[in-house]
Amino acid sequence: MIRRGHGKALEVLVDLYESAVAGDGALALVRGGMASGKTELLREFVRLAGEAGALTFSATGSLSERPLRGGVIDQLLCSAGLVREAEAFAAEGVPSAPAGGGRRDGIAEAATMTDSLVREACALFLERARERPVVICVDDVQFADSASLRFLLRLHQRIGRAPITVVLNVWDRPKQTLSAFCAELARRPYKQIRLGGLPRDAVARMAAEAVGAKQAARLVPRLMELSGGNPMVVRALIEDYRTGVCDERGLPVPGPETGRAALAVMHRWEPQLLEVARVLAILGEHADPSLAARLLRTRVEYTGEVVQILTAAGLYADGRFAHEPVASAVREGLAPRELAWMHLRAAELLYQRGAPVMAVADHLVSADSAPGGWAMQVLRDAAGEAMAADRPERAEVYLELAFRSGRDEVERVALVQSLAEVTWRVNPCASAAYLAVARTTARLEPRTPREARTEIRNGLWRGDSDAVERALKQLVADEAMLDPRTAAELRLGLAWYYGPSGGPAREAMHELLTPSGEPWTVVADAMGSLWSRGGSREVVDGAGHILQNCPLSDVSIEALATALVALAHGNETRLAAEWCDLLIAEAERRRGTTWRAFLNAVRSEISLLAGDPCGASLQATAALSLLRPQEWGVLVGYPMACLLEADGARGEHASAAEKLRYLVPDGMYATTVGVRYLFARARYALATGSPLAALADLHACERAVRDRRLDVSALAPIEIGMAEAKLRLGRAEEARDLMSLYLDDSPRTRFRGVALRVFAEAGDPARRADLLRESADELERVGDTLELERTKAVLHRLHGEPGTGIARRSEPEPGADPLEHILSEAERRVAVLAASGHSNRDISRKLWITISTVEQHLTRVYRKLGVSGRRQLADIVESGIVIAITDLVSNS
């Protein structure tokens, strides 16, 4: 037996042909698995033999022609143009109806005719061989009719010294094919060739013919890895690659052509093989021969054999199809009803076997059917597992099918409540729609803690304070339904929308108070002061406890957001940013679109407080792209406010004006979010020279705080905004009085520095410089670089000084470097090179310091000189403020 690649196998056949021409007739049996290249080998051999002057005959066995006596003989004759002879054999091969001798006589007559046909066919081919060499090739001989097989055996026994070469292709499969035929064939010597996978050089030649030698050299390792040398798979992969199907590295991957080619090959095998392949594709990772046999109600031996055949062809590995396009092509060949039936049957069998519920549920979803109580329970359990695995979209699919399939009204209400819960994480609008369906039923009130929390969550998001209050009362009515941590999280959630008083839900919020000594109560009490007192030490400590002890969830999201904002307002913007980035990454990993959007908005506020309007704008934009404005509910004002502030600070007034055209829900103005939005809109109006419009919005803020008890003065200092507006309108005395009261009554929040600047601009000119310096010190303390720049700009206009540092220093001696008392020598070297257009890398090389050291020096230079970047630094150098620094750099 010869195991060779196609090139070597062809050489063997050519050698046999040459021996036959020399008077030693021969027969070769070529074995090969699915798509191993048997047919291609036969065609190539026929072509070469024809070119050498042989008379060639070709035929292909097929199941459809198997009942026809002498069907392969007929094909052989027609392939060589011997049509008349073929017609004669066809007429002779049809037995006449028995004249009256009965069925036994008819069988005997048919056998006699078959013997006659076989003898005459054999004689004809031997006669032709006297004229010229004869080559007879039969592909898929396992499908040949019995008469043709007898002809081939008879010819093999009589070729002797005749110049005849016979090549037969047969399947190579675990269960022996044509065992009786092969046993008879062995009575006389014959050559047996088994086709294995293509060798590497053969694959390289195929690839080079398609894409060129240079490109082929890069593709061959991947082609060998994916195909195992199977010619059909190699050819299909190359075709997919030529149509642009490749991975990120530009290497081949299986695509549609691979799937089509594999399906075509399976169609050539017996129909039962394709049936088993389809079942295996449907069962996916849970496929095995025994389960496939049960689904098809067939023998496990046969399904096992099919698995072996597909594995040998490189199409199946590790209990599943090796390439998804092949599995998809196999599945898609089924009619929809048959496919649905198979998925339903697979679900039943997997359920009986105790397979994971999500695997069973996936088949129910594919069948679009949930028959019986077992299927409904599977879908509910699978939804729970999907949520535990952070796959809310999948949980929604399971529950949707259960809801559509359910008949019990109570069960359907419970299912729609669950749908509202799981969809909020990815689509708050869909969650609200599901709750609306639940409210149309007879039972309007939530009956479990989860249902109550879902109702609260959606009510807050929609601004439906009545729904929030009803659900809260239901929740607090049963002490067993509310643990201290959940109570604290809910209190902070209510405060996010309605301030520390709870707004319209204040009565229910009061019920959430747990014993005063309880740790969660202490933390919640401390965090409640954030809105009116700002980020005190007590608030910052409470924020740390929340961030370390509250896992990210639908209930805790506002509590976590409150903690992040508390850190930022407590002068811990860097720590707040780090925590927020970690939570955003977790939300993305857990597929929480709503969480990601909310946290991106929080991150935008943190960036604003850190003096980074560009970052704030990007983060607010990201938040609004994750959820469309209409999906935000009343919370839409939060990212919008951050975006208005950021774009206004960057001078992008046209962009901010565009955002103001968004329609916001009326209910938003009854929440703290509405107050913050109005405050941001007022700030934008001031930035664009519209103090009257700003005052209108600020008065609306005042009314909301007064009438709805929405105290957020520590986060949105309305008095400062009013003072700025009045100052622009020339009403300096009113502005001064407002700021005087604010500075006397308000705690030391991070806005105190801003208030000092406005007070300085509106107050006594003699005290202005001192107040501005105090403002700068205060803003530098809290790390608000954006407002610090604004204060320095006022100082610059007042004294012609670039910043507070200069104002504090004594004047330099005549002829001395004016920055000698401001910048260190190292800082001056870096400043001059940066102003001259050198990159940080260039500076580090020139001064023999690290890039990190350059960045640190530049940060201090910008702060001390009151500039925001290299352009302003260059202006200072060009204006002559920096003297003799160039000498310092050149001497270094």
Residue 354, both tokens = 């105790």
Of 2, 36, 29, 6, the C-alpha closest to 309 is 36
Mean pLDDT by runs of 10 across the 892 residues of the chain is 60 94 93 86 93 94 87 90 77 46 43 75 92 94 91 92 94 77 88 88 90 91 88 91 91 92 86 91 92 93 91 87 91 90 95 95 95 93 94 94 88 88 89 79 62 84 85 73 79 86 66 66 80 78 90 91 91 92 95 95 94 91 92 93 89 82 88 92 90 93 84 84 93 92 77 91 87 88 84 79 40 47 71 85 73 77 76 67 40 42
For residue 195, the surrounding DSSP H or E stretch is strand 191-195
H, E, C per residue of 642-656: HHHHHHHHCCCHHHH
Position 505 scores a pLDDT of 62
The partner residues of 485 in beta bridges, in order of sequence, read: none
Residues 684, 723: contact at Cβ < 8 Å?
no
Q: How far is the C-alpha of 143 from the C-alpha of 259, rounded, in Å? A: 25
H-type alpha helices, 2-144: 6-21, 38-51, 71-79, 83-92, 102-129
Position 760 scores a pLDDT of 92
Position 878 scores a pLDDT of 59
Position 873 scores a pLDDT of 79
Residues 600, 619: contact at Cβ < 8 Å?
yes
Position 133 scores a pLDDT of 95
Q: Which residues 6+ apart lie within 8 Å of 450 measured at CB?
A: 417, 421
Residue 764, both tokens = 């006594």
Q: Which residue has the tokens 């037996």?
A: 1
Residues 769, 757: contact at Cβ < 8 Å?
no
Q: How many CB atoms lie within 10 A of CB 115?
A: 13
Q: How far is the C-alpha of 89 from the C-alpha of 211, rounded, in Å? A: 48
Residues 685, 694: contact at Cβ < 8 Å?
yes
Q: How far is the C-alpha of 383 from the C-alpha of 377, rounded, in Å? A: 10
For residue 569, the surrounding DSSP H or E stretch is helix 557-569
Strand residue runs (E) in 676-833: none
Q: How far is the C-alpha of 39 from the C-alpha of 29, rounded, in Å? A: 13
Q: How far is the C-alpha of 239 from the C-alpha of 258, rounded, in Å? A: 8
Task: Indicate the residue type of 35.
Answer: A
Q: How far is the C-alpha of 832 from the C-alpha of 262, rounded, in Å? A: 69
CA separation, residue 340 to residues 280, 346, 368, 685 (Å) = 15, 10, 7, 61
Q: How far is the C-alpha of 494 from the C-alpha of 718, rounded, in Å? A: 22
- Residue 501, CB half-sphere, CA atoms under 13 Å: how many? 13
Residues 138, 168: contact at Cβ < 8 Å?
yes
Position 477 scores a pLDDT of 72
Q: How far is the C-alpha of 347 from the C-alpha of 386, rounded, in Å? A: 17
Position 94 scores a pLDDT of 44
Residue 137, both tokens = 């090739």
Q: What is the DSSP letter of 848?
A: T
Of 676, 773, 794, the C-alpha closest to 724 is 794
Of 592, 633, 634, 640, the C-alpha closest to 616 is 640
The partner residues of 830 in beta bridges, in order of sequence, read: none
Residue 334, both tokens = 């089924």
The packing angle between helices 449-462 and 465-476, to 10°, is 160
Query: Kind of pairing, strands 26-32 and 2-4?
Result: unpaired
Q: Which residues 6+ apart lie within 8 Å of 163 measured at CB?
A: 20, 21, 22, 23, 25, 129, 132, 133, 134
Q: Which residues 6+ apart lie within 8 Å of 798 measured at CB?
A: 768, 769, 772
Phi, psi of 13 (to 5 degrees): -65, -40
Q: How far is the C-alpha of 386 from the C-alpha of 98, rounded, in Å? A: 71
Position 486 scores a pLDDT of 81
Residues 103, 90: contact at Cβ < 8 Å?
no
Q: What is the DSSP letter of 321?
A: E
Residue 862, both tokens = 């910008």
Q: How many CB atoms lie within 10 A of CB 15?
A: 12
Position 533 scores a pLDDT of 72
Q: How far is the C-alpha of 497 from the C-alpha of 671, rounded, in Å? A: 5
Residue 239 CA, distance from chain mean position: 27
Task: Indicate the residue type of 90.
Answer: A
The packing angle between helices 637-649 and 672-687, to 10°, is 20
- Residue 89, CB half-sphere, CA atoms under 13 Å: how many? 30
Q: Which residue has the tokens 């399904």?
A: 303
Residues 240, 253: contact at Cβ < 8 Å?
yes
- What is this structure's pTM? 0.71
The partner residues of 2 in beta bridges, in order of sequence, read: 193
Position 366 scores a pLDDT of 95
Count, in order, helices (H) and strands (E) of the chain: 47, 8
State the distance between the two ends of the chain, measured CA to CA, in whole angstroms.
83
Position 105 scores a pLDDT of 42
Q: How far is the C-alpha of 229 from the C-alpha of 357, rounded, in Å? A: 38
Residues 121, 134: contact at Cβ < 8 Å?
no
Q: How many CB atoms lie within 10 A of CB 536?
A: 19
Residues 314, 32: contact at Cβ < 8 Å?
no
Query: Kind of pairing, strands 316-317 and 320-321?
Result: antiparallel
Of 486, 691, 676, 681, the C-alpha closest to 569 is 676
Phi, psi of 26 (to 5 degrees): -145, 155
3-state secondary structure of 137: strand
Q: How far is the C-alpha of 759 from the C-alpha of 647, rounded, in Å? A: 25
Q: How far is the C-alpha of 518 from the C-alpha of 483, rounded, in Å? A: 11
Q: How far is the C-alpha of 178 from the C-alpha of 183, rounded, in Å? A: 8
